Structure 1
Amino acid sequence: MKKRKLAVAALALIFGTNTFAQNLSAISQQETSRIIKTLSADDMQGRSAFTPGVDKAADFIAGEFKKTGLKPLPEENNFKQTFSVYRFTPQEKEVHLNGQTVSADNVFAVTNYEELEWDKDINVATEVIKESDNFRAAISRINSLEQNVLALVHPKHTDTFKAYQRYLTRGGIQQKKNEGNSKVFVLTDQTVATDYKIEIENQAEQLPLTNIAGMIEGKRKDEIVVFSGHYDHIGILTAVDGDSIANGADDDASGTTAMIMLAKYYKKQPKPDRTLIFVAFTAEEIGGYGSRYFSEQLPPDQIVAMFNIEMVGKPSKFGPNTAYLTGFEKSNLGELMQKHLQGTTYSIHPDPYPEQNLFYRSDNATLARLGVPAHTISSVQIDQDKSYHSVNDEIEQLDMAHMTNMIKAIALASRGIVYGNDTPTRVDKSTVRQ
């Protein structure tokens, strides 16, 4: 009897392995190459937000979802999840600080108000960015504060201050208008603000953005697994050797392609236990507005896991067919993925670049802040990648065999969660930086 059971088990293992191999054959290098080549082509013009190029990419992705047989999300008529943001362009700035008039060239504001009027009788906190401070870290901390802030910036930070100011002069993007808190930054050698008057006027322009989202309905409608990548990039740059298009092949046509291929893969499998949502996020490069909007449309407690995919077109430092998971320690999603890859040629590792803060630099962070086990799968060697955010990020720079194998690895690693056998631990929201 024992021999019979062992023989049956062995046959099951053989047939199971063959089934996996057959299933994974649906993820082909030829199809992967077709999709990423289209998304990173010159006629997409770098897929910058608010441009015809990103609209063309959106149409292409929606077309792929339709061919694959995905359904629109509930209460949506199609795959396009369109919403609005606002671009605030400074018009007038007048600041008086401790009896002195401050030049408008030494002021910028992070605000979604068309008109801002502050004086010493308004409840505004004062922060000082000292000569010894890290300006980028300080501004990030101040912007996260849930209150109005007047920040006095030491002149030592003039160059970085001016860079932020130039960026905002082109128009700062905000989700909402005339609500919430504002931050005003003043370049000055003064370290106290006993008396001040601030008047700022902005022009507010409403602009559309579009996520592309489709689904495979599972047996459990209220348990959701998200596969995602962002399809926008940074558009047109200063020409280098006659090339001005930042094609964004690895960042993040690779992740978007992987997400589409996983949709094609799971559509050919038996009906999943959990509902699968496949989403291409917009506006990641300008503040993650696509994932922010998406996160507001679903109860976060229903999202069991998020596999966000970013820059998987090149081998990782761990070698071919390997990738890493950002925020590995914040849930056990990575351990569950590793379990399902044992005995294969694929492997997932903890993020080897914690100093780069990659967990917070992609669309996973928005859902992780809500407690979702949301992580980014990546293989880019970010500390030495010279094509990042440049005109050289083209398909010719990618290893398509590696990328195709990474998609297969994610397919295998995610099956336990998709079919309800595994449930990752939730992210402790208190450990996630806002």
Structure 2
Amino acid sequence: MKKSILVFSLLGQLVFAQEKTTISKEEVKRIEVELSSDKMQGRKIFTPGIDSASVFIEKEFSKIGLSYYQELTSYRQGFLVKKKQANNVIGILPGKSKSNEFVVFSAHYDHLGMKNSGKDKVYNGANDDASGVTAVIALAQYFKQLDQNERTIIFVAFTGEEVGGFGSKYFSQDINPDNVVAMFNIEMIGTESKWGKNSAYITGFEKSNFGEILQLNLKGSLFSFNPDPYPSQQLFYRSDNARLAALGVPAHTISTSKMDSEENYHQLSDEVFTLDLDNMSEIIKSIAISSISIVKGIDTPSRVEKL
């Protein structure tokens, strides 16, 4: 009984603090518009466009005041892909009392690049996955301001997802998976889900109690997290969560993408004007609220069965 009262008291304090901490639609729009702009040239790996996107994310992490990851001397985690240089962008908020336990918020910042000709040549990737990276940056701002993370939070923008998941592969090989308590991978949250506004789904929902924890933390709100409605597409193994999930981490992707009818998916038309930025802002807020007991060290999701 005493433990229950303590947890209830802690959650009550967290709710009060969260009410004073905001994720603004204006900031979400600013970040999203910049990441999906034509000047990023479609953010294809090994191009000047992807480097421009990396520089932008690094500047955002610096403004927020994130620390460098492990032994890095910048926000860039460099590695080679087919003898070419590539990099993830990583920043951290060190944990207060459980610094060796990690919670990861991630998204991929690469996309498809440009066509050689045509009136519209840029694959802007506003939803795929500038929306996810926008969420990661907004969540970094949020948790820095909240300043209540007992566990270390790692914010990472992966490269190379569109060409084989090279960024998440390197990251997963460079970190001890036993130290990763949970991974919130965010992929395509700019459009309404099949249930409409204020809803999203979690891939691999049945593989751990990660989703149940998020649902419980949102109880009484207007927002709902649901199991993946597209199991035949095996989305759990098609995004950057898959590498750590294979190692036993409760690593799941949060998305709203209607994978059976998303007309702008991998199209030139995936531009910012097609997104619902109000709903997207609410999704990011709900990710923040639903994750707080994990970030705070109150809840620990069950592990995923290793592959």
Which secondary structure does the structure 2 equivalent of 1:296 belong to? helix
**Residue in 2 that maps onto 1:250:** 127
Task: Give the ranges of 4+ consecutive aligned residues of structure 1 lying more than 4 Å apart after TM superposition.
Answer: 15-18
TM-fit CA distance, 1:323: 0.3
**Residue in 1 that maps onto 2:63:** 67
Higher strand residue share: 1
**Residue in 2 that maps onto 1:49:** 45
TM-fit CA distance, 1:274: 0.5
CA distance in 1, matches of 2:67, 2:19: 27
Could you list the per-position Cα deviations for residues 213-256 of structure 1 after superposition, in whole angstroms to 9, with x for gaps in the alignment? 0000002121000000000000113656x111110000000000
CA distance in 2, matches of 1:306, 1:355: 23
Question: What is the root-mean-square deviation in Å for CA atoms of aligned residues?
Answer: 1.6
TM-fit CA distance, 1:22: 2.0
**Residue in 2 that maps onto 1:401:** 278
Which secondary structure does the structure 1 equivalent of 2:182 belong to? strand
**Residue in 1 that maps onto 2:216:** 339
TM-fit CA distance, 1:357: 1.5
Which secondary structure does the structure 1 equivalent of 2:85 belong to? strand
CA distance in 1, matches of 2:212, 2:279: 22
CA distance in 1, matches of 2:210, 2:224: 14
CA distance in 2, matches of 1:16, 1:230: 29
- 1:310–1:376 CA contact under 8 A, matched in 2: yes
**Residue in 1 that maps onto 2:30:** 34
TM-fit CA distance, 1:356: 1.5
Partner amino acid for 1:20?
A: Q
Partner amino acid for 1:222?
A: N
Are 1:20 and 2:8 matched, yes or no? no
Identity %: 51
- 1:237–1:391 CA contact under 8 A, matched in 2: no
Structure 1 residues 80-229: aligned runs within 5 Å: 80-86=76-82, 206-218=83-95, 219-229=97-107
CA distance in 2, matches of 1:416, 1:310: 22
TM-fit CA distance, 1:297: 1.1
Partner amino acid for 1:414?
A: S
Unaligned runs of 5+ in 2: 1-7
Unaligned runs of 5+ in 1: 1-8, 87-205
- 1:359–1:375 CA contact under 8 A, matched in 2: yes
Could you list the per-position Cα deviations for residues 312-350 of structure 1 after superposition, in whole angstroms to 9, with x for gaps in the alignment? 001101120110000101111000000000111111000
CA distance in 2, matches of 1:16, 1:277: 20
TM-fit CA distance, 1:66: 0.2
Partner amino acid for 1:247?
A: N
- 2:18–2:146 CA contact under 8 A, matched in 1: no
Partner amino acid for 1:75?
A: E
Which secondary structure does the structure 2 equivalent of 1:43 belong to? helix
CA distance in 2, matches of 1:52, 1:251: 19
Partner amino acid for 2:114?
A: I
Q: Say if 1:307 and 1:17 are closer, same or farther in 2 by CA, change over 3 A.
A: closer
Higher helix residue share: 2
Which structure would you say has the larger RCO, counting Cα contacts within 8 Å and 6 or more residues apart? 2
Aligned length: 298
TM-fit CA distance, 1:57: 0.1
Which of 223, 230, 242 matches 1:353?
A: 230
Which secondary structure does the structure 1 equivalent of 2:153 belong to? strand
Are 1:371 and 2:236 matched, yes or no? no
**Residue in 2 that maps onto 1:388:** 265
Partner amino acid for 1:78?
A: S
Q: Say if 1:19 and 1:269 are closer, same or farther in 2 by CA, change over 3 A.
A: closer
What TM-score does the superposition give when structure 1 sets the normalisation length? 0.67
CA distance in 2, matches of 1:18, 1:424: 24
Which secondary structure does the structure 2 equivalent of 1:81 belong to? strand
CA distance in 2, matches of 1:71, 1:21: 25
Structure showing greater Rg: 1
CA distance in 1, matches of 2:131, 2:195: 19
Which secondary structure does the structure 1 equivalent of 2:20 belong to? helix
**Residue in 2 that maps onto 1:153:** none
Partner amino acid for 1:427?
A: V
